[in-house]
Homo-oligomer: A and B are copies of this chain.
Amino acid sequence: MMSPTADSNGSVAAGKPTPGRLASVYSEVQKSRLEVSLPLPSVLKSSFHVVDGPPSSAAGNPVILLVALCKDYLQDRTKGSTLYGFKGGPAGIMKCTYVELTTDFVYPYRNQGGFDMICSGRDKIETPEQFKQAEETASKLNLDGLVVIGGDDSNTNACLLAENFRGKNMKTSVIGCPKTIDGDLKCKEVPTSFGFDTACKIYAEMIGNVMTDARSTGKYYHFVRLMGRAASHITLECALQTHPNITIIGEEVAARKQTLKSVTDYITDIICKRAELGYNYGVILIPEGLIDFIPEVQQLIAELNEILAHDVVDEDGQWKKKLRSQSHQLFELLPQAIQEQLLLERDPHGNVQVAKIETEKMLIQMVETEVEKRRQEGTYDQQFKGQSHFFGYEGRCGLPSNFDANYCYALGYAAGALLQFGKTGLISSVGNLGAPVEDWTVGGTALTSLMDVERRHGKFKPVIKKAMVELDGAPFKKFASMREDWALKNRYFSPGPVQFVGPTANDINHTLTLELGARA
């Protein structure tokens, strides 16, 4: 018996259509997607066996390659076995809440993303009690294997579960699959995570539309904050797809040790130059995690947390004297609304809620102040009007792009094969993604090779390292070579809505294309 967790669906063998059943709950586009047969890499279509390959670039288990062995074996491999889905991911494993994934149950989720099939959760399996619960579930259901689908946290779970089951001599193998729109789970053997391609295409459609609107009305600067947690991959990819006037990449801000003031000045300088060219409009992309990349902001927040925990915040502002000089200056620079947000909105532990800060609105207000200053000084005489946007949840659950559907299908198929051959502690790995699907390579990579040790809550913990935007990587270098041109000349590029048929339906994103090209 094998069990996927989280929001798997592409990994499940093809089901039979049940005509009419979905007529009233599915849109026509959804229904048309249900009926699509996805291509498989040739290595999985014909007979194959699993062999241990050369050692991976990182330490740990060797990479495993799937090669031709036995066609019948593949066709028959799930015969008689039962597939369970654990509800809400890790929580389902620990509480043993699951649903049997029959062909009929799975069918409506084919090529739909399927994020809502068994739903998702952010629980971690960390304590001895939690591992014990997982063991009990695996024993009770007599699991041969477990497929964990998710980002860095989920695959950390997968790695620790695999080690744990192996340590207890349990038969349950564990295989991870890379799923996150953030694009921050990747390495040489796992070139991308599924979801990233779809989310970026949805956001890029919206950004392209806003660009046309900006040019038509000619009076707004659109500040678009994009989802993506810590890393700026989504923002970078959307920039490559749409050519905005200004794009802030968090990793660059950190590397250059930029301040909030210097980011504001950078934006304002371009706005002023554009005004000279007659453009009082534009589009600016900002990564969700920006604020975390600015060292002085982190320092201010640490000091605020300390002060708010122990002192009274008096109306006269005497409390500000407790801030260090640089933090005090920064606090005074912030717009009033942000100051209040920092002081008033706290999480249950009393800490400032950084994630709640609407960076796009904060930057609009800071640019307004800077523009007004320049107006007073006589160096700027145009208007400035900002419009704020946050593009987030609407990109996480779209119908998968053809690339994501194909990639996910291959990943899931590979995960099944790895389990079948008794492999454990691996992440499903599909490579050569720049080639046609039939030429994709398929294998598994040791999850331990992705692990790093991080200090969290005062303890050292093994976790999967987030892949950040590399400033010497091909995607950033491409962007950096274009951005000055995009800043002053309007090179807006509008990808339009995701299409499932037609010449461009199988295009893959720029980030992956450039990274594959740089590697080739």
Min Cβ gap A117→B in Å is: 8
Q: Nearest chain-B residue to A88 (Cβ)?
A: B218
Cross-chain contact B393 with A222 (CB below 8 angstroms) = yes
> Given A115-B213, A119-B215, A215-B119, is A389 in contact with B399 using a C-beta cutoff of 8 Å?
no
Min Cβ gap A260→B in Å is: 23
Within 8 A of B (CB), among A473-518: 491, 493-504, 507
What total of chain A residues lie within 8 Å of the partner, measured CB to CB?
55
A280 proximal to B (CB < 8 A)? no
A265 to B446, CA, bound (A): 53
Q: Nearest chain-B residue to A387 (Cβ)?
A: B393
A394 to B202, CA, bound (A): 11
One complex includes copies of this chain to the number of 2
Q: What residues of B have a CB within 8 angstroms of the CB of A390 in the complex?
A: 389
Min Cβ gap A362→B in Å is: 15
A33 to B471, CA, bound (A): 36
Cross-chain contact B28 with A497 (CB below 8 angstroms) = no
Q: Nearest chain-B residue to A492 (Cβ)?
A: B25
A444 proximal to B (CB < 8 A)? no
Partner of A27, one of B116, B394, B397, B495: B495
A120 to B497, CA, bound (A): 23
> Given A28-B503, A501-B501, A504-B29, is A397 in contact with B213 using a C-beta cutoff of 8 Å?
yes
A395 to B210, CA, bound (A): 8
A467 to B25, CA, bound (A): 31
Cross-chain contact A27 with B494 (CB below 8 angstroms) = yes
A386 proximal to B (CB < 8 A)? no
Q: What residues of B have a CB within 8 angstroms of the CB of A33 in the complex?
A: 496
Cross-chain contact A209 with B396 (CB below 8 angstroms) = yes
Cross-chain contact B215 with A29 (CB below 8 angstroms) = no
A115 to B217, CA, bound (A): 9
Q: List 10 A-B contacts (CB under 8 A).
A: A25-B491, A27-B208, A27-B494, A28-B504, A205-B497, A206-B394, A209-B398, A210-B393, A211-B397, A497-B498
Given contacts A26-B494, A28-B503, A205-B497, 17 further A-B contacts (CB under 8 A): A27-B504, A28-B507, A29-B496, A32-B504, A116-B216, A120-B217, A202-B497, A205-B398, A209-B393, A209-B395, A210-B393, A213-B397, A399-B496, A497-B497, A497-B499, A500-B502, A501-B501
